[in-house]
Structure formats: C-alpha cells, structure tokens
Amino acid sequence: MFRFISRFALGALAAGAFFAAPDATAGDAAVGKGKYVMFCVTCHGLTGKGEGPLGAALNPKPRDFSIGDFKFDADKDGTPGTDADLALVIKNGGAAYGGSPMMAPWGATLSDADLENVVAFVRSLKK
C-alpha cells in the first residue's frame, strides 16, 4: 500500500511540475507591490496600464502590464517574456535590450529578492 501511495504521490508531483503555469514566479506579489509603487507607478501607473503621471508624456508609452505581453528575451534563452527576462529589464533598463532608454535601470536600487517580488507583482496585473 505504501509503495502505491509513494508512486502515486511522486506521479502527482511530477504532473504538477509539468503542468505548472509558465508565468509562475518565485516572488511575493504583495511585497513587490510596495517596491512597484515606490519606483514604477510614475510611468506604468497603479494598474500597470502605462497610465502613470509621467507615462502620458513618454514616447514610446510605457508597457501595459495588464496585457501581459513582453517582447524582450533578455536572457537569450529563446523565450521572450519569462520572469528572468522581466527581472533583467528591470535591473538593467530597457535600452540594454534595444528598448526605450526611458525605462530606467533599477539594479543599483533593487536587490535580487526585490526584483523577484516586483516581477511577481507585474505578473499579477495581467487581466
């Protein structure tokens, strides 16, 4: 009986890992919201639609996070828009990946844990 349960449990865990959402993130969105409000709201707005007070004056407009479409493959793994890509763009700025120089690099300000948390919050804005 124990062998059956163990095999069943391992199978269920493996299936769970296989079917995990591609947008699953290690960060804490609730914690990330604080840093997002502190550093990102001015351009991206509280709802992430690019409607921040400074965002209206920018060209190109800040990315609309509510769509959840990200174009950079910053880590060059062949898949644009992964959590690693978002963290790298936040850390190094948009210009480092051919994007807008108006997307400031926050790597000197945000720790790796902060970056994970902000990415988790940005992911939570997708509608």
CA dihedral defined by 45, 32, 37, 70, rounded to 10 degrees? Answer: -30
Mean pLDDT calculated for residue range 91-119 = 97
In tens, the pLDDT along 8-57 reads: 343 443 444 333 344 455 899 999 999 999 999 999 999 999 999 999 89
pTM score, two decimals? Answer: 0.79
Cα 106 to Cα 87: distance, rounded to the nearest angstrom: 10
Element at 6 (helix H, strand E): helix 2-18
Domain chopping of the chain, boundaries: 25-124
Cα 67 to Cα 47: distance, rounded to the nearest angstrom: 11
CATH class in words for 25-124 = mainly alpha
In tens, the pLDDT along 44-86 reads: 999 999 999 999 899 999 999 999 999 999 999 999 999 999 9
CA 104, 71, 45, 91 dihedral sign is: negative
Cα 12 to Cα 16: distance, rounded to the nearest angstrom: 6
